[in-house]
Amino acid sequence: MKIFLDTADIEEIRIVARWGVLDGVTTNPTLFAKTSGATYEEVLKEICTITSGPVSAEVVAEEVEGMLKEGRAFAKIAPNIVVKVPMSEEGLEAMSRFAEEGIKTNCTLIFTANQGLLAAKAGASLLSPFVGRLDDINQDGMIVIRELAEIVAIHELDTEVLAASIRNPLHMTQAALAGAHVATLPFKVLQQMVHHPLTDKGIVQFRSDWDKARKALAASNGKASAGAAKAPAAAKSGS
């Protein structure tokens, strides 16, 4: 399963890229609003210099022509830009037009397998069901992931299921087992995936044991050196 970082924070993206586990990035206006000092286009351009994987840039227009105008502008920023379009009647038309122009799209705000199927038929490159938001209203978001993954496999659709609105490490495990091709998650959740109390405790213990072993070895070598220094003197006095 590919791992995308759901953020517009450049430093977070650089950190995960150094870990060697970054396959792409998803952004949206809400995430961009948390950054400062640059335009959305400038942020997208910098992200695309960090990763060669897909970078989702979301349109905010609600009408087809507005979506097309924004999406075409995003697509010119870098070849790995994917235009993020909401699931709606206008969104379906826009995604179909983008597909005809060779522009990849990520259909966002999917909450049913039927919505995902329609987006795939319209030519969306990525289908983004929001599992966390479904959980918020007491529905199992992973059911949508599982159903969509099966539909894509059965009908050999040229698209990928992207698990979005990931809230915790358990969501990641569930998404992988449900057959998601991609999952996008916040930096905080990715950090939580790295750590475990027993792992962290083990690292501290190993370091402590290593330090003790080095000190013991140093003390042993020190005694051996002292003994060797006394030996010649004793031999001389005996003669």
Q: Of 170, 126, 156, whose CA–CA distance to 4 is shortest?
A: 126
Residue 239 has what pLDDT?
43
Other beta carbons within 10 Å of 35: 15
Number of Cα atoms under 13 Å in the Cβ half of residue 6: 20
Say whether both 52 and 155 belong to one domain. yes
Say whether both 104 and 163 belong to one domain. yes
Say whether both 214 and 180 belong to one domain. no
- For 68, residues 6+ apart whose C-beta sits below 8 A from its C-beta are 94, 97, 98
Say whether both 11 and 80 belong to one domain. yes
CATH of the domain at 155: 3.20.20.70
User: Whole domain around residue 235: which residue ranges?
Assistant: 196-239
Last residue of a domain, one of 194, 211, 226: 194
Going along the chain, which residue ranges are E strands? 2-6, 24-26, 55-58, 81-86, 105-110, 126-129, 160-163, 182-185
- Tell me the catalytic residues: 84
- For 2, residues 6+ apart whose C-beta sits below 8 A from its C-beta are 23, 24, 53, 160, 181, 182, 183
Going by the DSSP 8-state scheme, the letter that residue 104 receives in this structure is -
Per-residue confidence of the chain (239 residues) as pLDDT tens digits? Answer: 999 999 999 999 999 999 999 999 999 888 988 887 889 999 999 999 999 999 999 999 999 999 999 999 999 999 999 999 999 999 999 999 999 999 999 999 999 999 999 999 999 999 999 999 999 999 999 999 999 999 999 999 999 999 999 999 999 999 999 999 999 999 999 999 999 999 989 999 888 888 888 888 888 887 766 666 665 555 554 54
Say whether both 47 and 83 belong to one domain. yes
Say whether both 133 and 231 belong to one domain. no
Annotate 121-141 with three-state secondary structure: HHCCCEEEEEHHHHHHCCCCH
Per-residue tokens: 49? 């210099």
Say whether both 201 and 188 belong to one domain. no
Per-residue tokens: 15? 């950190």
Say whether both 162 and 214 belong to one domain. no
CA dist 34 → 9, 71, 164 (Å): 8, 22, 19
Q: What is the pTM of this model?
A: 0.86
Residue 228 has what pLDDT?
66
Number of domains forming the structure of the chain: 2
Going by the DSSP 8-state scheme, the letter that residue 196 receives in this structure is -
Say whether both 225 and 140 belong to one domain. no
